[in-house]
Amino acid sequence: MSLNYYHILKRIREARKLVIRGITAAGSGHPGGSFSMAEIMGCVFFKFLRYDPKNPLWEDRDRLVLSKGHASPGLFSNLAVAGYFDKSEIETLRKFESRLQGHPDFKCPGVEFCGGSLGIGLSFSIGMALAARVDGKTHRIYTIIGDGESDEGQVWEAAMTASKYKLDNLTAFLDRNFIQQDDYTERVMPLDEELTGDDISEMWKNAARWKTGDKWRSFGWNVLEIDGHRIEQIIKAIRSVQQTKGTPSIVVARTIKGKGVEHMEDNPKWHGVAPNPKIAPIIDLELDCQFLIAPSIIAGDMTNLGNEVKRAAQGRADFIHLDVMDGLFVPNKTFDHNKIKELRPITSIPFDSHLMITDPVKHVRDYVEAGSDIITVHAEVCDESSFGEIHDILRTNEVSVGLAINPDTELPQWTDKFISDLDQLILMSVIPGKSGQKYIESSHEKTHRIVKLLTKQNFSGFIEADGGVDLSNVESCFLDGARVFVGGSAIIGQKDVRSTISEFRKKILHGRRKLLIQKAHSLGGTELVNKWIDLHEVGKKKSELLQIAKEAGFV
Ligand code: DX5
Ligand code: ZN
């Protein structure tokens, strides 16, 4: 089975937006800790957890315990997306008579534990795991604890107990965001090391200083350490835990408090504060503007594509873009599913397979079996029936569904019925067939026009700009509406992939900040622009935003 990548990514995005909607309506709540665990929640809920929203007490369901109960909006939003109750109910958060209170309780369907008083959820989870064993049941228990919560002694008593009873049906996640209620964890009660400076990022840079995992290993746990915002790493970790017998497992997920909203990220202030209702629509747009970088490996050494995949992975790519060419749909030939199968074990980063082949319906299963996470086929060689078959094969195998059109092709009418369920739409900005070509300028207007069309057709996927994208045009491609950016010669063709990807991200971020400032201005003029900019207290963001606002003439 593949990652079901976009299926999860889109639900995580929806859940984050519901968190903002609920907390803003309540005028109070905990966004920071809801967002640091957002990817963990999304992967558990939408890839692994077995449950039935119509039968919340199904006795064979898996259990998810939110021990850090103050992040209840992060739980409620996922329960809503999962179908336990209507999404609109999130606006009753913390109101009298509501099922959704500041901390979870059993009034709300899908809640397994009344969290809030910290330090207890792991013990409760152990009880559930022991009960499952006594009852001969095979369901799994997942529990999320906070790093600040680990100051509670009961957490460590529970750690000893789980190890004593060899509870391998229990998976704990440590939401390691380095911030607790009143300060950075490494200043209050270090799990790694005393934080001497003011810069929390120093805790990230040097993995040799990370001691949290050793604490749990010394208590007899199986420990996995991951980037808690990388879907592929979370999924890989949970799959590994499911194979681990005779010991409980903890996934130490290094996360960012407030992740997804720039001004909340790494800012202790957003532990428990609600956004200003005037600001909420700007945050909503920001959550819709997450972006991904997909290096295209055919721009590298075609005799050593394994090394090109490694370069992209070490460069912190979000996707690996694999250009399959059969010499028929395009004159060039690159590689087929056999090469993808060979490359698959190198990295868990999603494989974004772009099939420039004729008769894709005949071959698509080969690319599923080879390990593609996203498969995009060209509308020029499909019709409603063949693409419908491809769509069903991909959905059944949890592979994300992509459609591509060439620069001189418009979306055929038969695609209308698929648009609302499409995960990715590649708008080619070169004539397909090779990397290193120049971006076709008319693609900007075409993207703008198609984005407008798609909005009317409830498109909730991601537009991928593919062909001739580089540092000179990527910001414009973002402002056109693209959210995934393929870089062949502009990324893989460069010596230092990591710094090039970082430069791409900075350019796109500049475009997003410009878009958000424009949104602030449209909603509330200069006053709201200044309010928005003032929120960005951490690091140098404020001065960078002011510069953008000045360039745009808003301040
Ligand atoms: C072209 C491919 C593109 C190409 C991108 O047919 O679909 O993915 O490899 O390479 P650059 O970014 O160099 O155009
Ligand atoms: Zn491509």
Q: Which helix (H) or strand (E) holds 322?
A: strand 320-325
Residue 477 in 3-state DSSP?
Answer: helix
Q: What is the DSSP string of 18-37?
A: HHHHHHHHHT---HHHHHHT
Two tokens at 179? 């911030």
Q: pLDDT tens per residue, the chain (555 residues)? A: 788 999 999 999 999 999 999 999 999 999 999 999 999 999 999 999 999 999 999 999 999 999 999 999 999 999 999 999 999 999 999 999 999 999 999 999 999 999 989 999 999 999 999 999 999 999 999 999 999 999 999 999 999 999 999 999 999 999 999 998 888 898 888 898 877 777 777 666 677 778 899 999 999 999 999 999 999 999 999 999 999 999 999 999 999 999 999 999 999 899 899 999 999 999 999 999 999 999 999 999 999 999 999 999 999 999 999 999 999 999 999 999 999 999 999 999 999 999 999 999 999 999 999 999 999 999 999 999 999 999 999 999 999 999 999 999 999 999 999 999 999 999 999 999 999 999 999 999 999 999 999 999 999 999 999 999 999 999 999 999 999 999 999 999 999 999 999 999 999 999 999 999 999 999 999 999 999 999 999 888 999 999 999 998 988
Residue 47 in 3-state DSSP?
Answer: helix
Contact 272, 74 (CB under 8 A): no
Position in ligand 1 atom list of the atom nearest CA 432: 6
Q: Closest by alpha carbon to 375, among 340, 424, 430, 308? A: 424
Residue 334 in 3-state DSSP?
Answer: coil
For residue 320, the tally of other CB atoms under 10 A from its CB is 26
Q: Dihedrals φ, ψ of 553, to 5°? A: 75, 20
CA of 430 to the centre of ligand 2 (A): 10
Is the CB–ligand 1 distance for residue 323 below 6 Å?
yes
DSSP 438: P
Sheet holding 320-325, edge to edge: 292-295, 484-487, 462-466, 424-428, 400-405, 374-378, 351-356, 320-325
CA of 318 to the centre of ligand 1 (A): 16
> What pLDDT is attached to residue 2?
83
Two tokens at 105? 């309780």
Measured in residues, the chain has a length of 555
Helix segments in 330-374, DSSP class H: 337-343, 360-369
Q: How far is CA 97 from CA 85, 397, 528, in A?
A: 15, 42, 34
Cα–Cα distance between 446 and 451 in angstroms, integer?
Answer: 9
> What pLDDT is attached to residue 539?
85
Is the CB–ligand 1 distance for residue 355 below 6 Å?
no
CA of 178 to the centre of ligand 2 (A): 39
Residues with CB under 5 A from ligand 2 (ion): 323, 354, 466
> What pLDDT is attached to residue 6?
97
Cα–Cα distance between 257 and 275 in angstroms, integer?
Answer: 15
Q: How far is CA 299 from CA 244, 311, 323, 488, in A?
A: 39, 12, 10, 5
Angle between helix 72-82 and 5-26 (nearest 10) = 130
Is the CB–ligand 1 distance for residue 467 below 6 Å?
yes
Is the CB–ligand 1 distance for residue 432 below 6 Å?
yes
Two tokens at 517? 């400032």
Is the CB–ligand 1 distance for residue 469 below 6 Å?
yes
Q: How far is CA 343 from CA 265, 286, 348, 372, 544, in A?
A: 35, 34, 10, 10, 40
3-class SS string, 144-207: EEECHHHHCHHHHHHHHHHHHCCCCCEEEEEEECCEECCEEHHHHCCCCCCCCCCCCCHHHHCH
Is the CB–ligand 1 distance for residue 331 below 6 Å?
no
Sheet holding 141-146, edge to edge: 63-66, 141-146, 170-176, 249-254, 222-227
At the second CATH level, the architecture of 5-276 is 3-Layer(aba) Sandwich (3.40)
What topology does CATH give the domain 291-494?
A: TIM Barrel (3.20.20)
Angle between helix 360-369 and 384-396 (nearest 10) = 10
Amino acid, res. 510: H
DSSP 491: I
CA of 495 to the centre of ligand 2 (A): 20
Give the ligand whose atoms come closest to the C-alpha of residue 295: 1
Probe target for ligand 1 pocket from 355, 408, 437, with the most ligand atoms within 8 Å of CB:
437
pTM confidence score = 0.96
